[in-house]
Amino acid sequence: MRRILFVLAALGLVTGCTAPKANDPPPGLADRGTQVTTAKPARQDLTNKVSLSGKVTLNPTFGLVAPIDGEIRYLDVKTATGTPTKPTKVANIWVSGKATAVEVPAGAVFAGRLVDDRSKVTAGMPIVSARQAGYGIVADIDGTQAYQVSDQLQSVQAQIKSGPGPFPCTVLGTLAALPGGTIPEPKAPVVNPSSSVAPVAPPTQGQPQQPSEATGMRLVCTGPADAKLINGAAATVEIITAKVTGALVLPVEAVAGSQGKGKVEVIKDDQTREIREVELGLTDGKVIEIKSGLTEAETVAIPGPSIPDAKGGQQPGMGK
C-alpha cells in the first residue's frame, strides 16, 4: 500500500509541473507585470541638419564634376595673370559629336586635370580641380556623414568661432574627395625643316601653374564679401539637406533601422503585438519620419524590436 501511495504522489508532482498555470499570459502578450513604454505617431515639421567643423582657408581647392556621361577632352589653359572675372573653359565632354563645356567659375583658377585626357567619364565624377582666389571655409566630412550631405544641399550656414556669423555660405564644386591634379607642360611649337623662320616659343604668363594636391572629402564654401575672415580661424558649418512639413514621426528609440526600411512593434487593442515593416524618411536624431506602414491611431512599443545581425545574433533597435 505504501508503494502505491508513493507512486501516485510522484505522478501528481509530474502532472503539476507540466500543466499550464491559470495565470500564464496567452502567447503574444507581455509577461504579467512587465513595464512597457509606448508611443503614438505624431505630426511635426522635420529638418535634416548636419553640423561640420571647419576653418577659414586662403585659396582653397575644390573640384568640378562631369555634367554628363561621355569622353572628356581637355583644353590647354594658359596661366592666369590675375583673378579671372569670367568663367574659364577648361574641357569639353563629347557625346555623339556634341560637346558640353566644362568651365571653372569666375573668381577661381584652373588647378589640375583629375582624369586622363580622352577617357570615359560619368556624370558627377570629379574631373577638374580649381583654386578659389581669396578666402573660403573648408569643412572636413567623415565617412559616417558622407551620404547625409552628398544629396542636394538646401542651405548652408557658417559661423566663425568668436567672429562673424551665422551667414549664408555658397558651396563651391563637389563634396567628393579629389586625387592630385596634373597640369601638362605647354606644347612645343611644330618645326618645319624647310622653313627659314625660327620657331617661336609659347608665351608664358605669370608664375607657372601649380597642380592641386589630393584632398579628403570636404565641403568648400564662400561667405559674403563683407564678412571679415582670418586665415585659420575655426568655423562651424551647418548644412540643411532636406525639409518636410507635417511629417508622421516616432521617437528613434521605437524604430529598428535607420535608412529606407525599418521595423516597429505595434501593440494592438487586445495587447497582442505585431512586428511591422515601415518606410523611413528624415531624422533629426530625436525623431524619425514614418512614410508608410503606420497610422496616427496605432501604438508602438519603446524600445523597438531587435533585428538579427549578419551572424544570426540580435541587434537592438536604434534606441537600444
DSSP string, 2-45: HHHHHHHHHHHHHHHHHSPPTTPPPTTSPPTT---EEE--EEEE
Nearest of 52, 64, 58, 212 to residue 136 by alpha carbon = 58
- pLDDT score recorded for residue 148: 74
170 forms beta bridges with 222
Q: In degrees rounded to 5, what are phi and psi of residue 200?
A: -95, 130
pLDDT at 16: 47
pLDDT given at position 305: 86
- Distance, in Å, from the CA atom of 219 to the CA atom of 222, rounded to the nearest integer, reads 10
State CA 33 to chain mean position distance: 44
| Edge-to-edge order in the sheet of strand 61-65 | 61-65, 126-132, 108-113
What stretches in the chain show pLDDT beneath 70?
1-36, 151-152, 187-208, 258-259, 307-320
Beta bridge partners of 58: 135
pLDDT for residue 314: 45
Residue-level pLDDT at 234: 98
Instruction: Kindly give the pairing relationship between strand 167-168 and strand 155-160.
Output: antiparallel
pLDDT at 299: 93
pTM for the predicted model, two decimal places: 0.67
CB–CB of 123/66 below 8 Å?
yes
Neighbours of 314 (CB within 10 A): 10
**Considering only CA atoms, which of 138, 204, 215 is closest in space to residue 169?**
138
CA distance 180 to 223: 26
